[in-house]
């Protein structure tokens, strides 16, 4: 441990709230309470999000007293990188340890159009989709906004070494973002703010398994961010088998809430549709799906199922995937097939899991 880190450890109590949870206004209020000038907030945000320092000590244009006060009140190191792996295709997977010892995963995907980070919003998940690894151990706890923001900062710090940038964010890691709605929204505001990470709304996507009341609430926020729904089935029967949440939030009601969102925001919706061999991947399913969503302003993203050892789903053969996509196209539905990335490091959709502290070295 170098001297600087030692010093920081002495002054920064680990149970302090994450400084990354604070909106600009909240930071300003805190400064005024301490008798500081409000303009300091800009300096602090620059240190956090532009220069991305790892210690309050490094905020050298602030007085020593203010730096100490910050260190006494907040934490700058809520995430510790336990594992960082890079796949053959450049995809990176990070295992981060939280202050209470739980671990979460974050993925960085490299595309032609830029680098996209997939962030986690909960330790585990309680939605119970029958094909997904993230839900196997249930939900442990929600992440705080700052713990979600810190994932982006940490990954950006790793990319700083090669002069690359995180250019887009997908909220598609572990957890159901709409089950942690308030913190997710704070996270969105911080990364979107021009003094925060300044990531444009159109470069951010949130995906939900279909928590209907939150879809209405989200529509009313009128944010310009991209919205995706994990549909995975053309009818109630199949959806309930794949996703138990469909019993509480029924498909016809889900479709109504999505139409409300589209009317309210004028934006289109992306439907994620995982192809599970023999379950939902036949031509008749594609035809039924086209009937269900054909009249809606949308786009379908087909995801070939990713292998999860605890689950029994089999992959749909490539030809069948193309036939499924073509059937949708013929009915006038926009469709793409998701490019697969990060397979060799278990970083693909549905393979992320919150590990218990003791199996971190697995
Ligand atoms: N809870 C949110 C965010 C997760 S996004 C949601 O459900 O939308 C991750 C996407 O990967 C979701 O569409 C999810 O249903 C899908 N997924 C999960 N497990 C998968 C698997 N084994 N194979 C392919 N896709 C999977």
Q: What are the tens digits of pLDDT across the range 149-196?
A: 999 999 999 999 999 999 999 999 999 999 999 999 999 999 999 999
* Domain limits, CATH 3.20.20.70, in the chain: 80-361
Give the model confidence (pLDDT) of 127-151 as tens digits.
999 999 999 999 999 999 999 999 9
Q: Give the whole-angstrom CA distance, residue 128 versus residue 244.
A: 7
Q: How confident is the model at residue 259 (pLDDT cuts 50, 70, 90)?
A: very high
| CATH class (in words) of the domain with range 80-361 | alpha beta
Q: What pLDDT is recorded for position 14?
A: 58
Average pLDDT over residues 82-96: 95
Least confident interval from 36-40, 102-106, 261-265, 311-315: 311-315
User: Positive or negative CA dihedral for 179, 185, 190, 191?
Assistant: positive
Give pLDDT, residue 19.
97
Per-residue pLDDT for 10 more than 70? Answer: no
Per-residue pLDDT band for 350 (boundaries 50, 70, 90) equals confident
CB 23 within 8 A of CB 186: yes
Q: What is the pLDDT of residue 210?
A: 98
pLDDT digits (tens, 9 = 90+) for 260-313: 999 999 999 999 999 999 999 999 999 999 999 999 999 999 999 988 888 889
19 and 48 Cβ atoms separated by less than 8 Å: yes
Compute CA distances 214 → 118, 148, 175, 184, whole Å: 21, 19, 15, 12
Of 65-74, 232-241, 314-323, 351-360, which range is least confident? 351-360
Cβ(132) to ligand 1 under 6 A?
yes
Give the number of other Cβ atoms within 10 Å of residue 310's Cβ.
8
pLDDT digits (tens, 9 = 90+) for 213-227: 999 999 999 999 999
Q: How far is the CA of 175 from the centre of ligand 1 (A)?
A: 10
Do strands 335-337 and 298-304 pair parallel, antiparallel, or not at all (unpaired)? parallel
Test site for ligand 1: of 131, 249, 309, most ligand atoms within 8 A of the Cβ: 131
pLDDT of residue 357: 57
Residue 141 and residue 180 in contact, taking contact as beta carbons nearer than 8 Å: no
State yes or no: pLDDT of 79 exceeds 80: yes
- Asked if residue 117 has pLDDT above 90, the reply is yes
What was the pLDDT predicted at 9? 44
Q: Tell me if 298 is assigned to a ligand binding site.
A: no
| Active-site pick, 12, 36, 97, 105 | 105
Output the CA 239–ligand 1 centroid distance in Å: 13
Residues of CATH 1.10.150.530 domain(s) within the chain? 23-73
CATH number among 1.10.150.530, 3.40.50.300, 3.40.50.720, 3.20.20.70, domain 23-73: 1.10.150.530
Q: Is 318 helix (H, G, I), strand (E, B) or coil?
A: helix
Q: Is 164 flagged in the annotation as binding?
A: no
Residue 58 is predicted with a pLDDT of 97
Indicate left, alpha or beta for 110 from its phi (over 0: left) and psi (-120 to 50: alpha). beta
The pLDDT of residue 7 is above 70: no
Catalytic residue list contains 237: no
Beta carbon of 180 within 6 Å of any ligand 1 atom: no
> Is the pLDDT score of 6 beyond 50?
no
97 annotated active-site: no
Q: How confident is the model at residue 340 (pLDDT cuts 50, 70, 90)?
A: confident
Portion of the chain with pLDDT greater than 90, in percent: 86
Q: Is the CB of 279 under 6 A from ligand 1?
A: no
End-to-end CA distance of the chain: 25
User: Rounded to the nearest whole angstrom, what is the distance from the C-alpha of residue 29 to the centroid of ligand 1?
Assistant: 39
CB half-sphere exposure, 210, CA atoms < 13 A: 29
Question: Does ligand 1 lie within 6 Å of residue 303's CB atom?
Answer: yes
301 lines ligand 1 (CB under 6 A): no
60 burial (CB, 10 Å; 0-12 / 13-18 / 19+) is exposed
Task: State the chain's mean pLDDT as an integer.
Answer: 93
Q: Compute the distance from residue 349 Cα to the ligand 1 centre, in Å.
A: 6
Query: What is the phi/psi pair of residue 277, to 5°?
Result: -50, 125
């Amino acid at each position: 441990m170098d001297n600087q880190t030692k010093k920081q450890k002495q002054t920064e109590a680990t149970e302090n709230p994450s400084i990354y949870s604070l909106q600009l206004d909240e930071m300003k209020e805190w400064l005024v309470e301490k008798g500081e000038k409000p303009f300091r907030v800009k300096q602090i945000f620059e240190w956090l999000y532009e220069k991305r320092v790892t210690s309050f000590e490094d905020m050298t244009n602030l007085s020593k007293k203010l730096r100490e006060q910050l260190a006494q009140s907040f934490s700058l190191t809520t995430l510790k990188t336990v594992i960082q792996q890079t796949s053959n295709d450049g995809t990176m997977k990070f295992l981060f340890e939280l202050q209470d010892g739980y671990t979460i995963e974050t993925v960085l995907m490299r595309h032609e159009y830029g680098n996209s980070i997939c962030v986690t919003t909960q330790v585990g998940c309680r939605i119970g989709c029958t094909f997904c690894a993230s839900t196997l151990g249930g939900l442990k706890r929600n992440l705080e906004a700052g713990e979600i923001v810190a994932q982006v900062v940490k990954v950006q710090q790793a990319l700083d070494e090669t002069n690359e940038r995180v250019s887009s964010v997908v909220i598609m890691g572990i957890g159901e973002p709409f089950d942690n709605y308030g913190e997710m929204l704070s996270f969105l505001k911080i990364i979107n703010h021009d003094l925060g990470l300044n990531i444009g709304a159109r470069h951010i996507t949130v995906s939900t398994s279909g928590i209907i009341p939150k879809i209405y609430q989200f529509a009313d926020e009128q944010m310009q961010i991209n919205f995706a729904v994990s549909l995975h089935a053309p009818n109630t029967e199949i959806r309930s088998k794949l996703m138990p949440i469909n019993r509480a939030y029924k498909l016809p009601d889900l479709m109504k809430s999505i139409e409300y969102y589209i009317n309210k925001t004028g934006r289109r919706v992306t439907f994620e549709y995982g192809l599970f061999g023999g379950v939902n991947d036949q031509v008749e399913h594609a035809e039924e799906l086209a009937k269900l969503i054909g009249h809606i302003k949308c786009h379908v993203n087909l995801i070939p199922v990713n292998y999860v050892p605890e689950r029994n789903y089999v992959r749909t053969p490539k030809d069948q995937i193309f036939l499924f996509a073509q059937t949708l196209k013929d009915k006038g539905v926009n469709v793409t097939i998701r490019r697969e990335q990060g397979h060799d490091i278990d970083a693909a959709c549905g393979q992320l899991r919150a590990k218990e502290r003791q199996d971190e070295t697995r």
